[in-house]
Structure 1
């Protein structure tokens, strides 16, 4: 789907969702193609046939729309939440059948685990129907137990004066293979001697009968097969885990989830018997929530246990208590897990948000969506294996990252930061320490979901106090899995007139700034080189997600104008487009290159490699219309001190 078709599809989607504003979020919103063609043809003043072709192409390429034909008319369907998914009406719930003959029955020893022995509340005795399946299972279990044991046989004492007929079975007893190795000693079977015509009681004498055993018991196999993979049990546990750990962990998790009684509960990669959990009531949960709010930041489970329950790791029940706490909090909607593997961190409702409030989470997810669309080139200079081995990432700051204190969660950062513990985990909270300034910052990592990218937020104060756009920063691991260090290359004092953003006036301007860090001159927004940056329009964040519109605005602002008044042309270099585009929204070089190549109004300049020519569509102008350029006042000289700009005395 190209940017043009995406823009047209977005406009149609907004039009249809406005039509169904009072519909449910998953309710279908339908509109005929003929109505859409009539509306856009009148609006764009274009031929209906060409509009129809563009509409069909745009809506067919967009996954939010479904094409239908009703009574010979083409109808497009969507919903307020995106693509309309018809509800599933087939009733597949066969609880009666599964209860009567389960697909994966529980292991049983007798019918006592199937038929309850408790007295019913009814005064009348109701008949209990037992499936043939359970009766057969009980018979097989009883037969197996009988085969494992050889019980002594003793005849009953005869009545006085009655003849005694004695049966002396001396037969070979063949045990089942399961008990062949156990029944090694001979078994004595009591038999009764035959006494005829005597009133004396029978005399019993033991007759030894040896059980026939295999001459050479079969050697047990040391190989088990798990989902087609042979595992040799002669290996050490460490070797088995190193080779088959992921397979065994997945199979164990699946088997525990299939247990209908939930006898083993799980939290992440940890499992524990449900019957041994420590109970936490509503008062405990309220106390934990109040303590987290009092500390005003997400807390580790170890801190909660130590401060509220006075447990320490030396106590024998510490790990059981810790697991019970985490499992209980994971089942409460008022608590959110924001930890990583090895550090269980909990947040709750009522805590202040981490990072700048000027950019909403939904907007940042759309602005960083290029990372999951195949335009992530962060591993061009350093591989993921090298990052994992070194434990650090070095990168340059763009203006957008510096201004809002965010970093895209690209492949390089993903290789450095810990992975989420749960599949549905939304975010994680880490701590970034600055050894150069003895300061610490909470950073929230927002993981990518669906068609939205991920990012880090919470570094706005650090960037504004110590860095400038274009600065070189390094993020490294520490001994703690949830703590990272952030630093920069120090340099001599430098004063330059750099781009700033006045949020009150909602406009860009230049001001003198003094910094002490190493920078990339191509990314430093200095007035002498990139003076046109102040003419950029500070679009709302919702509009900045329109990649094509931002590109056109950047080309007009940064390019050298030529051509006629009615048909201007702008020549712009890739470096100018890259630095200006990253003022308004984050973008990688590969994403920007693909955007330039796919835009119908942008073409490569054959006379100057690395330059592009942008020819905007012709716009009808009035006879008396004139272009006015605003004379901007000279900005005062400002110096960065303690996170604020102050005017110099000079």
Structure 2
């Protein structure tokens, strides 16, 4: 409200405006038409204290100012005194309680009451017939064919004849819009146009028929060129061109299309779904599902699943979790949907890790014991096996990857490092045998290895290569140490399930020998008497009778074993033959012995050693196929140590460059 909206003198207008502002502030949360009441005594007491004036004098001024502005304030007198009423929208108008539209009144007092002489019009036991029909949508094409709908230009061009068009009853407005197209098509038709024999009573006369009747000339036939173009336009091409540059021939069988372009189509589909900002379709692996239909799992569900996995003390299949915790059966209609929801929700939680493969979806959680122990850290093992991703993998020399996939098995030699720590490098031969990662961000998978010769089962963790880190398998230490020795031949083959594998070896009569072992308490290599019942490659068994110097190898920390050149130099100094002098030592060693000793300290391939020998300055080749190592000259350290020779006798040596030298003092 403005000052101009109020009446009276200037002082009365200002006073009325101030009081209206006070009262609307009081009812700021009221409805716009709700009454706001205030007594004259309260207003006078408030303003008298504010302006330091006489209460009775200012009360008289308030009464006069608000009475003059009766268009905004309503004055009421009661036992409590004088009240003024207003509202946020201005003058207060009381709401009317008169019911002008009563259903009760219309029910009992209709305008045209029924006669009471025939009670059947009021009460009847029979159900009246339904005379109305619910509308049903019918395609325009079929309406045109039945003569029930106007023809659009697209339908006219597709049909090719206008004999049915004239029989279509339409409204004048529709005909006015379609008249040019319909007349032109009628002129090109070879048949006469006939009007509708049964016009609909509720619609106007067919306007199209009148337009045709006004043409006295006979209808000419369409030229052959028009017919050919119309037929060409009506035929669909079997080729489908996708924006990604892929062309599909839809006339081919679906099996052939999927065989030729299935992988490419899957990539296009995944890319299209990833670009959807609303994420209406979500995925888990190669499965897709509407996000709105995904079952939600609360905190209690996640806690139950995690506790159950910890209770079983091993990763569990999604089917086991569903059957044991939710009692769902694969025969239920919503089973696959719930299974997708479970996998999708667990994959989004940080406490769970997917360790399954395609066809066997396993879930692990925090708190489970590590598979394979902690003797070798994952970061160190990834750097040790990095030679496999650097191009020094020759595991497919004897058997191709395709042959491994076809046969489903591989046979390999067990080195000392693999036997000691229960690991297998993830080389190309193993990669051709085990399943690939199911998820893009999956770093590991858990497989089950069974030994049919001993009826034992082992959980094996597969660490997939990532970037410049190599991969490996761990968890077979117990099987290797109980039944095998370094140099044994093992066979790994696929089982009946995607995550099941069989591990076996060729049995042989009992044999005993002093073989190389690692004393972890002293952190030193030593020879011990071992009996074994497996077939071995005699040249690769680290026995004392043939490789007595192996016990002089230093059990280097894993951090130093990552450096291939450092390990190779140490192998030369321990296993090599000294051909130099004390001041200028030189060592010579054959490639086979070098490879065996190198695999005692860390995994390595023949191609890796050949690369180091060919591209490192301290190494050179000799005419007899042996290699020569010439250490860089350095000052001798003062520390002297004793090592055992091949016969087990202690011989003094001087430690040189952090390694052992055969020269005595």
Q: 2:238 aligns with which of 222, 239, 251?
A: 222
**TM-score normalised to structure 2 length:** 0.65
TM superposition shift of 1:630: 5.5
Query: What does residue 631 of structure 2 align with?
Result: 616
Residue range with higher mean Cα deviation, 266-275 or 613-622: 613-622
Tell me if structure 2 keeps the 8 A contact 1:356–1:404: no
Query: What does residue 56 of structure 1 align with?
Result: none
Query: What does residue 517 of structure 1 align with?
Result: 534
Task: Give unmatched runs, 5+ long, in structure 1.
Answer: 1-122, 125-146, 153-171, 193-201, 636-650
Matches within 5 A, 1:564-643: 564-606=581-623, 608-609=624-625, 611-621=626-636, 628-629=642-643
Tell me if structure 2 keeps the 8 A contact 1:191–1:204: no
Query: What does residue 170 of structure 2 align with?
Result: 189
CA 1:602/1:203 → structure 2, altered by over 3 Å: closer, same or farther?
closer
Matched, 1:420 2:437: yes
CA 1:359/1:179 → structure 2, altered by over 3 Å: closer, same or farther?
farther
Residue-by-residue CA offset, 1:142-170 (whole Å, 9 max, x unaligned): xxxxx979999xxxxxxxxxxxxxxxxxx
Query: What does residue 381 of structure 1 align with?
Result: 398
CA 1:428/1:544 → structure 2, altered by over 3 Å: closer, same or farther?
same
Query: What does residue 370 of structure 1 align with?
Result: 387
Residue range with higher mean Cα deviation, 485-494 or 216-225: 216-225
Matches within 5 A, 1:8-87: none
Measured in 1, the distance between the counterparts of 2:497 and 2:367 equals: 27
Query: What does residue 353 of structure 2 align with?
Result: 336
Tell me if structure 1 keeps the 8 A contact 2:486–2:540: yes
CA 1:191/1:564 → structure 2, altered by over 3 Å: closer, same or farther?
closer
Query: What does residue 319 of structure 1 align with?
Result: 336
Query: What does residue 350 of structure 1 align with?
Result: 367
Residue-by-residue CA offset, 1:596-625 (whole Å, 9 max, x unaligned): 22221221122x22x112222223348x98
Tell me if structure 1 keeps the 8 A contact 2:515–2:543: yes
Measured in 2, the distance between the counterparts of 1:506 and 1:475 equals: 31
Query: What does residue 563 of structure 2 align with?
Result: 546
Residue-by-residue CA offset, 1:226-263 (whole Å, 9 max, x unaligned): 32222122233222211111111111111111111111
Residue-by-residue CA offset, 1:291-334 (whole Å, 9 max, x unaligned): 00110011100000000000111111110110011111111111
Measured in 1, the distance between the counterparts of 2:617 and 2:267 equals: 49
SS at match of 1:579: helix
Query: What does residue 177 of structure 2 align with?
Result: none
Q: 1:306 aligns with which of 307, 315, 323?
A: 323
SS at match of 2:586: strand
Query: What does residue 457 of structure 1 align with?
Result: 474
Matched, 1:263 2:241: no
Matches within 5 A, 1:201-240: 205-207=204-206, 209=208, 216=231, 218-226=234-242, 227-240=244-257
Tell me if structure 2 keeps the 8 A contact 1:356–1:405: no
Query: What does residue 176 of structure 1 align with?
Result: 154
Tell me if structure 1 keeps the 8 A contact 2:172–2:207: no
Tell me if structure 2 keeps the 8 A contact 1:356–1:460: no
Query: What does residue 309 of structure 2 align with?
Result: 292
Measured in 2, the distance between the counterparts of 1:178 and 1:235 equals: 31
Residue range with higher mean Cα deviation, 562-571 or 378-387: 562-571
Residue-by-residue CA offset, 1:377-422 (whole Å, 9 max, x unaligned): 0011111110111111110000000000000000111011100011
Query: What does residue 101 of structure 1 align with?
Result: none
Residue-by-residue CA offset, 1:18-75 (whole Å, 9 max, x unaligned): xxxxxxxxxxxxxxxxxxxxxxxxxxxxxxxxxxxxxxxxxxxxxxxxxxxxxxxxxx
Q: 2:517 aligns with which of 480, 488, 500?
A: 500
Which structure ranks higher in relative contact order (CA pairs < 8 Å, sequence separation ≥ 6)? 1
Tell me if structure 1 keeps the 8 A contact 2:318–2:343: yes
Measured in 1, the distance between the counterparts of 2:470 and 2:574 equals: 28
| Structure with greater helix share of residues | 2
TM superposition shift of 1:191: 5.8
Tell me if structure 1 keeps the 8 A contact 2:380–2:562: yes
**TM-score normalised to structure 1 length:** 0.67
TM superposition shift of 1:592: 1.0
Measured in 1, the distance between the counterparts of 2:254 and 2:568 equals: 58
Measured in 1, the distance between the counterparts of 2:425 and 2:442 equals: 18
Q: 1:250 aligns with which of 246, 267, 289?
A: 267
Query: What does residue 434 of structure 1 align with?
Result: 451
TM superposition shift of 1:275: 1.3
TM superposition shift of 1:564: 1.6
Measured in 2, the distance between the counterparts of 1:555 and 1:321 equals: 61
Residue range with higher mean Cα deviation, 584-593 or 173-182: 173-182
Larger Rg: 2
SS at match of 2:545: coil
Tell me if structure 2 keeps the 8 A contact 1:148–1:176: no
Tell me if structure 2 keeps the 8 A contact 1:398–1:582: yes
